[in-house]
Amino acid sequence: MTDTAVPKRRKTSDAADAPSVAPETAPDRTPHPAPRAKDVPRTMKELRIARQGKRKPPPKQDDNPLREGLRLERVPDPSCLVLFGATGDLAHRKVIPALYQLWRTNLLPHDFVVLAIGRRAYDDDTLRAEFHDSLEKYSRVLPLDDAAWRSFSARIRYQKLDFDNVADYDKLTTVLDAIDKEQNSRGNHLYYLATQPSAFAEIVGQLGRVGLDHERHEGGWRRIVIEKPFGHDLNSAIRLNREVGKVFRESQVYRIDHYLGKETVRNLLVFRFGNGIFEPIWNRRHIDHIQITVAETIGVENRGAFYEETGASRDFLQNHLLQLLSLVAMEPPATFDADALRDEKVKVIRAIGEMTTDQIRSDVIRGQYGPGWVAAKPVKGYRQEPQVDPESETETYIAARFEVDDWRWSGVPFYLRTGKRLPKRATEIAIQFKEVPHRLFRESGTDPDPNLLAIRIQPDEGIMLRFGAKVPGLGIDVRSVTMDFTYGSAFTVDSPDAYETLILDALLGDASLFTRADEVEGAWARVTPIIDSWMDEGPPEFPNYESGTWGPDEADELLGREGRKWRRI
Amino acid sequence: MAANLTTGGAIVDAPIRLNEPVLRWRSRAHSIEEVEQELSRIWSQVNLESDVDADGDHVNERHVGARTSVMNLVVIAARQEVGERCAATIQRLVGRHPSRTTIVQPADPDGPSWLDAQIVAHCIMPRADAPETCAETIHLTCGGESGRHLDAIVAPLLIHDLPVTVWWPDEPSFGSAPVNDLLVMADRLIVDGSGWHGTGLTQLRRMAAAANRLPLAISDFAMVRQSRWREAIAAIFDIPDFLPYLRHIRRIAVTYGVRDEFGAETTNIVKPLYHAAWLASRLGMEVTRPLAPMTSGAGRKPPVRGAGGRLTTLANPSAGLGAALRLDRSDVAIVIRPVLSAMPSGTTLRVELLADWRGSELRADVTAEQEAVHVRVWQDGVHALERGFNAPRRTDVDLLAEAIEAGGRDPVASGTLALAAELAGGPFP
């Protein structure tokens, strides 16, 4: 069709709407043929009728008026959770206790099946007995509720599968089809990869090969939960994302960082965006710096071989610490849906500049623990731990200074630290406010400390605000006092375990607390240059901190050179 | 080792049990002023402390009690045993919703005025390394004239700035001055409409009138108990293929149990009525003809009413009650009918929905079976969905906790109550 085919009236109208002279920069291209007049709705009435005639998108659950105001948590659709690595430590310690607890509290659908997948030859009863023993150890609510366990365990089945055996996946398809029919799980499958990371790509590929990724037209959904570590550097993360992306759409992928499921971490969002008084001062004008600490008293325990390949930077910095940073620094999302939330977190990660080699030398401190005393007990140094190279160069401590280069945070340092064999187990975020601009109470014997807001994530979850108060008496003496909110005394009910929250969210299709591919890659893009830089350096002088101390002296100097110090926890 | 229950003070050697409320204070008073003094005594001590472990042995470590209150809970109990049952329920919630609880029991209304108060504090320790959380309960028995001025008794004992929840486990005489005066100061009223006498509809209409008159949130256990049913019914229309039928429901039938064939006239039908009222209010239906006894003509006769609007004669009790509503431009029939059942009278046994959209019919059948609610759906006669929801029996502790946790005035609950009252003949003026 050409311009000449357009009726005259239409042409006139176009001419009236168009600029009289084409702009000089207009690209030299063949004009698009104008649509026929009868295809172009013109009046409001025509537009309305045309819109009504269009096929409407399928209604969403949000459109269901009966959902409004239901106070109970929505129960997930009937489904089958396919647990890969069911005989492993993670399944026994975390996944099964979380599922049992969800079942006990009626948060799982009545038509629910756990298909436990493992490489060992088991039968259903043997596995159930092992799960029961694990629950006796790891369930957060004891004693076990026998009736709840009986009904839950009846829904557990075992299926032997070698991850790289093609025929086993064909068999899995048959088993799942049978479960969907017999147990009424309607083709809704949640694949949970609680396996070694090296098996992720293989399992995902095989699921794709046998078509178990395909969501059904009649509503059967397919989702996959992948445990951390998601890659071991930027390239491997990109590769793994690509492998997963060949089979599953991003909306089907749920990457777990269990820190995000912790009650206090979720409360951080409520604290920031559910209260009016903090957000106006949550910026460079009022905040001097931010410290995020994840301290552990334990060593590597029986994970020496694993830790040798990861170290503190991969084990904690790339995921937990950067996730906490992004939650503290993010802008308020427009809505509380998964992508709005994750969009804002990604912006923060991207605003952290990639460090140069010089910056890494000055702003990143690594350490490794030597022998010492923790909790009044002598402990070994890292190099004496089982499965650890006696000359290991793996870091068990990392402290780093980051800057989030955006309008809100420009010039505010974020100090992050994590380490093993520190004196105390504690995870907290400390917001250090600026000093008052004018010292009014000069005669006070003590300088009040600047205000500090500490958000304790574990243990003793709570929020503490430090401020100055007058000491009772005739003079004006100002001292720092704290106003302390402890979760345990305000709400003495147990918080759900992070895995309960996250598994339920995955079954409900809510990805808010899961990390997206671009978040993972963004975090690796900040951490990989640090690891690469260390590879180019000479061997470090490890061990450089004693067990039971707060890390190497250089970590104190990192803050000290700017007139600051780590908060005493 | 037994606790040393002294009168008039702290009980320091009560053994500690994790997650179990432990009595830490007991004293008596005979006037409101004395009660206030006792409350001051409890909390003017730096802490309630215990130095006894779970075995009752004295230990060096002292557990410090921290006072916490998130609301004032006022219970009006007609009888002592009701008050005791409520106190036991509330104790189970000390950890979850620590409150100052005042249990008021009017007694001997024609005798002289007197007041007897027992003040107790219970503490609960969630973890071995955590402080104890303590909350106080005041048991007040008021004789004579003082029992008719509930507001005057309760007001001085309220912790300021905290919300006031009134739990009325018996049957409040809505509309009477003492009840009105008390409800004026309350933020929330908790009742159990399924325990009211007769069909319960007269009280329901009076309660709806109170809800219209006062800025009061109302939680009815009869409604709270049905949350799993509502979840099950809502889940049907989460399925995109079924959602369009929702606005084309033509009939809602609720079946409830009665013990014998004569029970239909006197059985409390608040619970079954709430099912229909919830659906109707969520879908914006309007009542065109309130509930009336159904005859073979399926409820086409106007309701027959006696004094006070009570439904009096049922032409055929087993046929149940019928009402008509309007949704958009279509009529919707409501049927509430009894069947003989071994279940407690008034228990909902089945909710049936019939919808008709573009010549296609959807029929949904929701039933209670043991500890589950089952949903079955047929589309044009073809079985299209079967799903179960766990629905274990809920204790008073669960119900009270859920009622308390509903912050503010729940528009779904108030909409349901208003429509239930309309179906029953409209709120009393």
How close A156 comes to chain B (CA, Å)? 17
Supply angle C-alpha A482, A485, A489, rounded to 5: 130
CB contact under 8 A, B234 and A67: yes
Query: 3-class DSSP state for residue B323?
Result: strand
- Per the CB < 8 Å rule, is A71 touching B402? yes
Tally C-beta pairs within 8 A across A and B. 90
Q: Are strands A79-84 and A189-193 parallel, antiparallel or unpaired?
A: parallel
pLDDT at A32 over 60: no
Number of helices and strands in chain B (H, E)? 10, 19
Chain B residues whose CB is inside 8 A of the A111 CB are: 387-388
- Which two tokens mark B173? 């005489």
For tokens 């766990």, name the residue.
Answer: B390
Residues of chain B in contact with residue A425, where contact means CB-CB under 8 angstroms, are none
Out of A199-208, B107-116, B265-274, pick the least confident: B107-116
Give me the pLDDT at residue A480, please: 78
B29 CA: distance to closest CA in chain A (Å): 29
What residues of A are in the B interface, CB distance below 8 Å? 58-61, 63-72, 74-75, 78, 106, 108-111, 184, 219, 486, 488-494
CA B93 to chain centre: 15
Give contacts of A219 with chain B, Cβ < 8 Å: 239-240
Question: What's the gap in Å between the CA of A67 and the closest CA on chain B?
Answer: 6
Instruction: Determine whether the interchain pair A72/B96 forms a contact, defined as Cβ–Cβ distance below 8 Å.
Output: no
Q: Which residues contact A47 (CB under 8 A, 6 or more apart)?
A: A41
DSSP structural state of residue B297: T
Structure confidence at residue A89 as a pLDDT band (50, 70, 90):
confident
Q: Would you say B340 and B258 are in contact if contact means Cβ atoms under 8 Å apart?
A: yes
Tell whether B391 is within 8 A of chain A (Cβ). yes
Q: Which chain B residue is nearest to residue A487, measuring alpha carbons? A: B130
Side chain identity, residue B186 = A
The answer to whether residue B130 neighbours chain A at the CB level (below 8 Å) is yes
The pLDDT of residue B382: 92
pLDDT of residue B308: 39
By C-alpha distance, which of B235, B216, B134, B227 is closest to B174? B216
Asked if the Cβ–Cβ distance from B230 to A110 is below 8 Å, we say: no
- Among B233, B372, B411, the residue with its CB nearest the CB of A66 is B233
Most confident of A505-514, B106-115, B130-139: A505-514
Contacts of B127 in chain A (CB under 8 A): 488
The shortest CB-CB distance from B234 to any of A66, A108, A219 is to: A66
Would an 8 Å CB–CB cutoff place B230 in contact with chain A?
yes
How far is Cα B166 from Cα B180, in angstroms, rounded to an integer? 12
DSSP secondary structure, A411-453, as one string: T-EEEEEEESS-SS-EEEEEEEEPPPSS---TT-SSPPPPPEE
Average pLDDT, chain B: 81
Is A292 within 8 Å of A414 (Cβ atoms)? yes
Residue B11 tokens read as 């009980």
* Closest-approach residue (CA) in chain B for A112: B388
Q: Confirm or reject contact between B227 and chain A (CB < 8 A).
A: yes
Mean pLDDT, to the nearest integer, of A24-37? 42
As a whole number of angstroms, the distance between CA B412 and CA B429 comes to 22
Burial A213-228 (b: 16+ CB within 10 A, else e): bebeeeebbbbbbbbb
Rounded distance, CA A479 to CA A438, Å? 17
A463 token code pair: 């929020």
- Is pLDDT larger for residue A29 or for residue A257? A257
Distance CA A505, CA A345 (A): 19
Taking CB atoms and an 8 Å cutoff, what residues of chain A touch B70?
Answer: 490
Q: Is the dihedral of CA B241, B242, B247, B250 positive or negative?
A: positive
Q: Which residue of A has its CA nearest to B224?
A: A71
> Is A132 noted as a catalytic residue in this protein?
no
The predicted model gives A230-240 an average pLDDT of: 91
Q: Give the type of residue at A491.
A: F
Q: Which tokens hold the place of A420?
A: 């093993």
Q: Using an 8 Å Cβ cutoff, are B357 and B245 in contact?
A: yes
CA distances from B371 to A38, A278, B229 (A): 61, 46, 12
User: Which stretches does DSSP call E strand in B160-284?
Assistant: 164-168, 188-191, 217-220, 249-258
**Preferred mutation among B245, B390, B397 to probe A, highest tally of A CBs within 10 A:** B390
How many residues make up chain A in this entry? 569
Interface touch B124/A492, C-beta < 8 Å: yes
Q: Does B344 touch chain A (CB under 8 A)?
A: no
| Minimum distance, in Å, between the CA of residue A85 and any CA atom of chain B | 28
SS3 for A247-291, per residue? Answer: HCCHHHEEECCHHHHCHHHHHHHHHHHCCCCCHHHCCCCCEEEEE
Contact B91, B44 (CB under 8 A): no
Picking from A489, A491, A494, A495 by the largest number of B CB atoms within 10 A of its own CB, the best residue to mutate is: A489
pLDDT band at B87; cut points 50, 70, 90 = confident
Task: Find the closest chain A residue to B411 by CA distance.
Answer: A69
Any chain A CB within 8 A of the CB of B409?
no
Please give the pLDDT value at position A438. Answer: 79
CB contact under 8 A, A64 and B234: yes
Tokens encoding B9:
């003070």
Specify whether the CB–CB gap between B402 and B231 falls below 8 A. no
Is B371 at the interface with chain A, CB within 8 A? no
Phi then psi dihedrals of residue A457, to 5 deg: -95, -40
> Among residues A281, A305, A270, A556, which one has the least CA distance to residue A415?
A556
Could B240 and A58 be called an inter-chain contact, meaning their C-beta atoms sit closer than 8 Å?
A: yes
Answer whether A74 sits within 8 Å of B126, measured CB to CB.
no
Residue A52's contacts (CB-CB under 8 Å, 6 or more residues apart) are none
Instruction: Report the Cα A562 to chain-centroid distance in Å.
Output: 31
3-class state of residue A316 by DSSP:
helix
Q: Tell if the CB–CB gap between B389 and A109 is shorter than 8 Å.
A: yes
Name the minimum distance, in Å, from the CA of A125 to any CA of chain B: 24
Q: Which residues contact A63 (CB under 8 A, 6 or more apart)?
A: B243
Contact B282 A66 (CB under 8 A): yes
Backbone torsions φ then ψ of B368, nearest 5 degrees? -100, 130
**Tokens standing for B377?**
């759906």
What band does A353 get if pLDDT is binned at 50, 70 and 90?
Answer: confident
Q: How many CB atoms lie within 10 A of CB A60?
A: 10
Nearest CB neighbour to A69, from listed B387, B390, B410: B410
Residue of B nearest to A69 (CA): B412
pTM, two decimals, is: 0.70
CA distances from B325 to B26, B201, B343 (A): 56, 18, 29
Query: The tokens 């909710």 sit on which residue?
Result: B351
A303-346 residue pLDDT tens: 888 888 889 999 899 989 999 999 999 999 988 888 898 999 99
Asked if residues B339 and B261 have their Cβ atoms less than 8 Å apart, the reply is no
Q: How many helices (H) does chain A have, and how many strands (E)? A: 18, 17
More confident residue, B96 or A521: A521
Contact B96 A109 (CB under 8 A): no
Query: Is the pLDDT score of B350 beyond 90?
Result: yes
CB-based contact, B63 to chain A, within 8 Å:
no
Strand (E) positions, B125-163? 132-143
Reduced to 3 states, what is the DSSP secondary structure of residue B120?
A: strand
CB-CB neighbors (< 8 A) of A494 in chain B:
126
CA B413 to chain centre: 11
The alpha-carbon radius of gyration of chain A (Å, integer) is 29
Return the pLDDT at B263.
67
- Strand, coil or helix: what is B48? strand
Interchain pair A69, B392: CB under 8 A:
no
- In DSSP notation, B199-233 reads TSHHHHHHHHHHHHHS--EEEEHHHHTTHHHHHHH
| pLDDT > 90 fraction of chain A, expressed in percent and rounded | 51
**Under a CB-based contact definition with an 8 Å cutoff, are residues A331 and A282 in contact?**
no
DSSP symbols for A379-411: E--GGGSTTS-TT----SEEEEEEEB-STTTTT
Cα distance between residue B194 and residue B224, in whole Å: 11
Q: How far is B260 from chain A (nearest CA, A)?
A: 33
Residues of chain B contacting residue A184, judged by C-beta atoms under 8 Å apart: 386-387
| Tokens read off for A510 | 């809510």
Residue for token pair 């704290």: A482
Q: How many Cβ atoms sit within 10 Å of the Cβ of residue B175? A: 14
Give the confidence band of A3 by pLDDT, cuts at 50, 70, 90. Answer: very low
Q: How far apart are CA A265 and CA A323, in angstroms?
A: 10
User: How does pLDDT run across B199-216, given as a tens digit for each residue?
Assistant: 999 999 999 999 998 888
Task: Tell which residue, B278, B252, B269, has the closest CA to residue B331.
Answer: B252
Asked if pLDDT for residue A288 goes beyond 80, the answer is: yes
For B275, name the nearest residue in chain A, comparing CA atoms only.
Answer: A66
Give the Cα separation of B184 and B173 in Å (integer): 14
Q: Is the pLDDT score of B126 beyond 90?
A: no
From the candidates A110, A215, A495, which should be mutated to test the interface with B, based on the most B CB atoms within 10 A? A110
**How distant is the Cα of A141 from the closest Cα of chain B, in angstroms?**
11
Q: Which of A92, A258, A289, A320 is catalytic?
A: A320
> Do the strands A253-255 and A222-226 form a parallel or antiparallel pair, or are they unpaired?
parallel
Q: Please report the pLDDT score of residue A323 as a whole number.
A: 92
Q: In this structure, are residues B129 and B138 in contact, taking their beta carbons and an 8 Å threshold?
A: no
The tokens describing A297, both together, are 């008293």
Reported ipTM exceeds the 0.90 cut: no
pLDDT at position A491 is 60
Q: How far is B100 from chain A (nearest CA, A)?
A: 14
Contacts of A109 in chain B (CB under 8 A): 387-389
**What are the residues whose beta carbons fall under 8 Å from the beta carbon of B172, sequence distance 6 or more?**
B76, B179, B189, B191, B207
Query: Residue A380's CB: how many other CB atoms inside 10 A?
Result: 17
**What is residue A37's three-state secondary structure?**
helix
